[in-house]
């Protein structure tokens, strides 16, 4: 094939231009060089090797850790008219032989394989009898034993370099930190690879973090804004997942639970429905998500604090892979900090590991309580400097009000100290508020100098102060996880008056004004479909679902939301106009063009 990368981008994938570093990466591979690509989820990693695969002689071999991912990618490529296949344990022996035959006959542009398969002597020698266009190592962070996705076989992949020194290799990952990057270079022998590091900002995701005061009502209001949209809701415990999924279903939402306590058949069935249907809400523990490649997830909601900033970034990153507007929404409370500390304390991990986990929890808490641009803090967690305001997070859209809380902070710290740093916030607040009880008298705390010095504030205000002092590292929860509070190195500066403390006001906005604000932010759901457009939008989605069923693929493999949305706006009336829409390549135009034109033309 003699086409240029840009021609292939147009004709096969139907896109008008390359995104970010895509073109440079494609050229690097075509020229025979190696590449290491760090790009966030949704950045467009796949095209970086798919286009060179169509240009270079021979078959491109793509190493992918997950069977479900392979199948999706191959389905999508076939829909675009590309000769692609996969080899993994899900295929029958007969189907495997057929794929191998096609490989040997040079019929395949791309072949996806699981690493354990690729590394068998038999497969490697099969490849030696073939022309290999390139090796793509997807999810390359799986080589890292520090990550959650460690796959020992990935470490053997350096053999590709030894056996096929002339074949270009590309390793890709959405995991950003330096340690992982170094490990990839070393383990995969990519010292000579050119590195392409993208910003990890996800500009289409709007971040929002709020306090949990009435979880059900908050979740309902949130979902009202996202009716009919696909989303994921993360909760910490299996029980909470089950309960939430149940009451959401009772309230009329299409919600399903997912956690490791469900049997495999149920889990698979739920995951499959999530991928194949429009508008399903998956309520899940963190067990759900690895390998969820669904591009049109419109929101990710956290009903509890996630474990770490990395976890938060990864989980929220599953929203909006298609670059259309998406929301990352989280509510949390002080009790989360106690629960999480307990979970860390009770885990089997070594002390060193527990210390790291506590630090991670603390930085997440600082993020949650922050008054500055969320994106600044989120990207800073990955060593990226970003200067807000981004204009697209809650703190930028509506800067939080703060107040001088130096004196209350001093009172709080002093009450913690005077009562011996052995109590949780509940009891310390009772001391501050001067609440008499037998326990108080038995402990002799009614005689402390701090008893009653905080009676001017109610319990809720005090809880807010304690939560924020924890988040700012002016107090710390005990390592044992009992929720008892201790001073920290920095508390002293506040007690001596050398440091003042500003806290954010937790006051809840009145209901009416909040409603108005929300509707200003989002009209017609995340995608901004107007009421008059809704009938055609529904028809287009209906047709897509029908075609997807016929072809046995998820709807987004037929066309992405972005492509449907472009049709809705441009109202193409013939094939030429339709083909100019981003995402409509030649193969899809031929296959589905008339069906979609019929629906569009019937509207007018
Ligand atoms: P990643 O693997 O980095 O998460 P994908 O390769 O799945 O990202 O691409 C994310 C989405 O962006 C896909 O829907 C893809 O079709 C789309 N995309 C990729 N490159 C382009 C481009 N140059 N123009 C338009 N859309 C693109
Ligand atoms: Zn911001």
Is residue 478 domain-shared with residue 575, that is, in the same domain? no
DSSP string, 91-122: S-HHHHHHHHHHHHTT--SEEEE-HHHHTSHH
Say if ligand 1 is within 6 A of residue 39 CB. yes
Residue 36 CA to residue 298 CA, distance in Å, equals 29
pLDDT at 2 (0 to 100): 59
Say if ligand 1 is within 6 A of residue 560 CB. yes
Dump pLDDT digits (tens) for 213-267. 899 999 999 999 998 899 999 999 999 999 999 999 999 999 999 999 999 999 9
In this structure, what CATH number is given to the domain that contains residue 596?
Answer: 1.10.150.80
Specify if 514 maps to a domain: no
Is residue 141 domain-shared with residue 21, that is, in the same domain? yes
Residue 512: band (very low, low, confident or very high) from pLDDT cuts 50, 70, 90: very low
pTM over 0.75: yes
What is the C-alpha radius of gyration for the chain, rounded to an integer number of angstroms? 27
Q: How far is the CA of 311 from the centre of ligand 2 (A)?
A: 20
Question: Region 186-205: what's the mean pLDDT?
Answer: 94
Dump pLDDT digits (tens) for 379-418. 988 888 899 899 999 999 999 889 999 999 999 999 999 9
Averaged pLDDT score across all residues of the chain = 90
Is residue 446 domain-shared with residue 572, that is, in the same domain? no
Dump pLDDT digits (tens) for 90-99. 899 999 999 9
**Phi, then psi, of 221 in degrees rounded to 5:** -65, -40
Ligand 1, atom 5, lies closest to the CA of 44
Q: How far is the CA of 200 from the centre of ligand 1 (A)?
A: 15
Give the ligand 1 atom nearest the CA of 42. Answer: 4
Q: How far is the CA of 19 from the centre of ligand 1 (A)?
A: 8
Is residue 187 within 8 Å of 44, Cβ to Cβ? no
pLDDT at 524 (0 to 100): 64
Q: What share of the chain is helix, strand, coil (3-state, %, to 5)?
A: 50, 10, 40
DSSP state of 393: B
- Kindly tell me if the per-residue pLDDT of 604 is higher than 80: no
Pocket test for ligand 1, best of 11, 45, 46 (most atoms within 8 A of CB): 46
Q: How far is the CA of 501 from the centre of ligand 1 (A)?
A: 45
Say if ligand 1 is within 6 A of residue 454 CB. no
Write down the residue that tokens 């508008």 correspond to. Answer: 279
- Kindly tell me if the per-residue pLDDT of 117 is higher than 60: yes
Q: How far is the CA of 46 from the centre of ligand 1 (A)?
A: 7
Higher model confidence: residue 507 or residue 55? 55
Percent share of the chain, pLDDT over 70: 96
pLDDT at 507 (0 to 100): 55
State the number of CA atoms in the 13 A half-sphere of 230 facing the CB. 22
- Kindly tell me if the per-residue pLDDT of 562 is higher than 60: yes
Residue 417 CA to residue 99 CA, distance in Å, equals 70
Q: How far is the CA of 74 from the centre of ligand 1 (A)?
A: 15
DSSP state of 194: E
Give the ligand 1 atom nearest the CA of 76. Answer: 16
Ligand nearest to the CA of 562: 1
Higher model confidence: residue 362 or residue 599? 599
In this structure, what CATH number is given to the domain that contains residue 232?
Answer: 3.40.50.300
Residue 66: band (very low, low, confident or very high) from pLDDT cuts 50, 70, 90: confident
Say if ligand 1 is within 6 A of residue 295 CB. yes
pLDDT at 517 (0 to 100): 44
Is residue 60 domain-shared with residue 159, that is, in the same domain? yes
Residue 32 CA to residue 219 CA, distance in Å, equals 51
Ligand nearest to the CA of 561: 1
Q: How far is the CA of 329 from the centre of ligand 2 (A)?
A: 14
Say if ligand 1 is within 6 A of residue 43 CB. yes
Residue 47 CA to residue 53 CA, distance in Å, equals 9
Quickly count: other Cβ atoms within 10 Å of residue 341's Cβ: 24
Is residue 230 domain-shared with residue 299, that is, in the same domain? yes
Burial per residue of 451-484, b for 16 or more beta-carbon CB atoms within 10 angstroms, e otherwise = bebbeebeeebbbbbbbbbbbbebbbbeeebebb
C-alpha of 96 from chain center: 34
Is residue 499 domain-shared with residue 545, that is, in the same domain? no
- Kindly tell me if the per-residue pLDDT of 527 is higher than 80: yes
Structural domain count, the chain: 4
Domain ends where: 482, 507, 532? Answer: 507
Domain ends where: 276, 302, 332? Answer: 332
Ligand 1, atom 18, lies closest to the CA of 44
Residue 250 CA to residue 328 CA, distance in Å, equals 24
Q: How far is the CA of 305 from the centre of ligand 1 (A)?
A: 30
Is residue 416 domain-shared with residue 432, that is, in the same domain? yes
Give the ligand 1 atom nearest the CA of 18. Answer: 23
Angle between helices 121-128 and 93-104 (to 10 degrees): 30
- Residue 380 structure tokens: 């800073």
Dump pLDDT digits (tens) for 323-374. 999 999 999 987 888 888 888 888 888 888 888 788 888 888 889 989 899 9
Tell me which range, 163-172, 375-384, 492-501, 594-603, is most confidently predicted by mean pLDDT.
Answer: 163-172
Dump pLDDT digits (tens) for 19-39. 999 999 999 999 999 999 999
**Phi, then psi, of 235 in degrees rounded to 5:** -130, 160
Is residue 30 domain-shared with residue 113, that is, in the same domain? yes
Higher model confidence: residue 481 or residue 60? 60
Say if ligand 1 is within 6 A of residue 42 CB. yes
Specify if 381 maps to a domain: no
Strands 475-477 and 485-487, sheet pairing? antiparallel
Ligand 1, atom 19, lies closest to the CA of 44
Specify if 363 maps to a domain: no
In this structure, what CATH number is given to the domain that contains residue 409?
Answer: 1.10.10.10
Is residue 211 domain-shared with residue 191, that is, in the same domain? no
Say if ligand 1 is within 6 A of residue 45 CB. yes
3-state secondary structure 480-542: CCCCCEEECCCHHHHHCCCCCCEEECCCCCCHHHHHHHHHHHCCCCCCCCCHHHHHHHHHHHH
pLDDT at 528 (0 to 100): 86
Is residue 426 domain-shared with residue 292, that is, in the same domain? no
pLDDT at 154 (0 to 100): 94
Is residue 217 domain-shared with residue 172, that is, in the same domain? no
Domain ends where: 162, 178, 197? Answer: 197
Percent share of the chain, pLDDT over 90: 71
Say if ligand 1 is within 6 A of residue 310 CB. no
Say if ligand 1 is within 6 A of residue 18 CB. yes
Domain span at residue 559? 522-601
Question: Region 481-507: what's the mean pLDDT?
Answer: 87
Ion ligand 2 residue ranges (Cβ < 5 Å): 373, 375, 388, 390, 393, 396
Q: How far is the CA of 217 from the centre of ligand 2 (A)?
A: 26
Is residue 216 domain-shared with residue 193, that is, in the same domain? no
Specify if 393 maps to a domain: no
């Amino acid at each position: 094939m003699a086409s240029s990368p840009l021609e292939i981008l147009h004709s096969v994938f139907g896109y008008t231009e390359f995104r970010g570093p895509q073109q440079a990466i494609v050229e690097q591979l075509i020229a025979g060089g190696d590449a290491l690509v760090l790009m966030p989820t949704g950045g467009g990693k796949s095209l970086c090797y798919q286009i060179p695969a169509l240009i270079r002689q021979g078959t491109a071999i793509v190493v992918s850790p997950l069977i479900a991912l392979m199948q999706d990618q191959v389905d999508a490529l076939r829909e675009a008219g590309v000769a692609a296949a996969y080899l993994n344990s899900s295929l029958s022996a007969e189907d495997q032989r057929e794929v191998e035959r096609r490989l040997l006959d040079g019929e395949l542009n791309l072949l996806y394989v699981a690493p354990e398969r690729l590394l068998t002597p038999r497969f490697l020698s099969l490849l030696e009898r073939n022309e290999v266009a390139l090796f793509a190592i997807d999810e390359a962070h799986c080589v890292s034993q520090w990550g959650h996705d460690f796959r020992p076989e990935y470490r053997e992949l350096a053999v590709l370099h030894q056996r096929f020194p002339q074949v270009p290799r590309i390793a890709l990952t959405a995991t950003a930190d330096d340690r992982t990057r170094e490990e990839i270079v070393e383990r995969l022998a990519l010292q000579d690879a050119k590195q392409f590091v993208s910003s990890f900002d996800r500009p289409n995701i709007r971040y929002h973090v709020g306090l949990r005061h009435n979880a059900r009502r908050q979740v309902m209001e949130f979902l009202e804004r996202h009716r009919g949209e696909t989303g994921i809701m993360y909760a910490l415990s299996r029980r909470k997942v089950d309960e939430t999924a149940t009451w959401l279903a009772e309230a009329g939402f299409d919600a399903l639970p997912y956690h490791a306590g469900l049997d495999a058949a149920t889990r698979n069935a739920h995951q499959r429905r999530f991928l194949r249907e429009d508008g399903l809400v998956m309520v899940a523990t963190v067990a759900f998500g690895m390998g969820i490649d669904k591009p049109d997830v419109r929101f990710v909601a956290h009903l509890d604090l996630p474990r770490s900033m990395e976890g938060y970034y990864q989980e929220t990153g599953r929203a909006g892979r298609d670059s259309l507007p998406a929301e990352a929404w989280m509510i949390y409370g002080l009790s989360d900090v106690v629960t999480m500390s307990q979970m860390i304390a009770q885990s089997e991990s070594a002390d060193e590991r527990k210390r790291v986990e506590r630090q991670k929890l603390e930085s997440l808490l600082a993020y949650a309580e922050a008054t500055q641009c969320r994106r600044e803090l989120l990207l800073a967690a990955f060593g990226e400097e970003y200067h807000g305001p981004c204009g697209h997070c809650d703190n930028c859209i509506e800067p939080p009000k703060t107040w001088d809380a130096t004196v209350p902070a001093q009172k709080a710290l002093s009450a913690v100290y005077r009562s011996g740093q052995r109590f949780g916030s509940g009891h310390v607040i009772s001391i501050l508020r001067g609440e008499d009880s037998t326990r108080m008298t038995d402990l002799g705390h009614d005689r402390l100098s701090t008893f009653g010095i905080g009676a001017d504030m109610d319990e809720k205000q005090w809880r807010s102060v304690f939560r924020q002092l924890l988040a700012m590292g002016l107090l710390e929860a005990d390592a044992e996880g009992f929720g008892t509070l201790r001073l920290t190195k920095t508390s002293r500066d506040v007690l001596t008056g050398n440091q003042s403390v500003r806290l954010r006001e937790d006051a809840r906005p009145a209901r009416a004004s909040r409603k108005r604000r929300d509707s200003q932010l989002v009209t017609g759901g995340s995608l901004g479909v107007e009421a008059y457009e809704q009938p055609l939008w529904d028809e287009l989605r209906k047709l897509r679902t029908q075609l997807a069923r016929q072809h046995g693929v998820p709807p987004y493999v037929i066309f992405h939301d972005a492509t449907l949305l472009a049709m809705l706006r441009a109202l193409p009336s013939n094939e030429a106009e339709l083909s100019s829409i981003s995402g409509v390549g030649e193969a899809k135009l031929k296959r589905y063009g008339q069906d979609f034109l019929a629906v569009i033309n019937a509207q007018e």
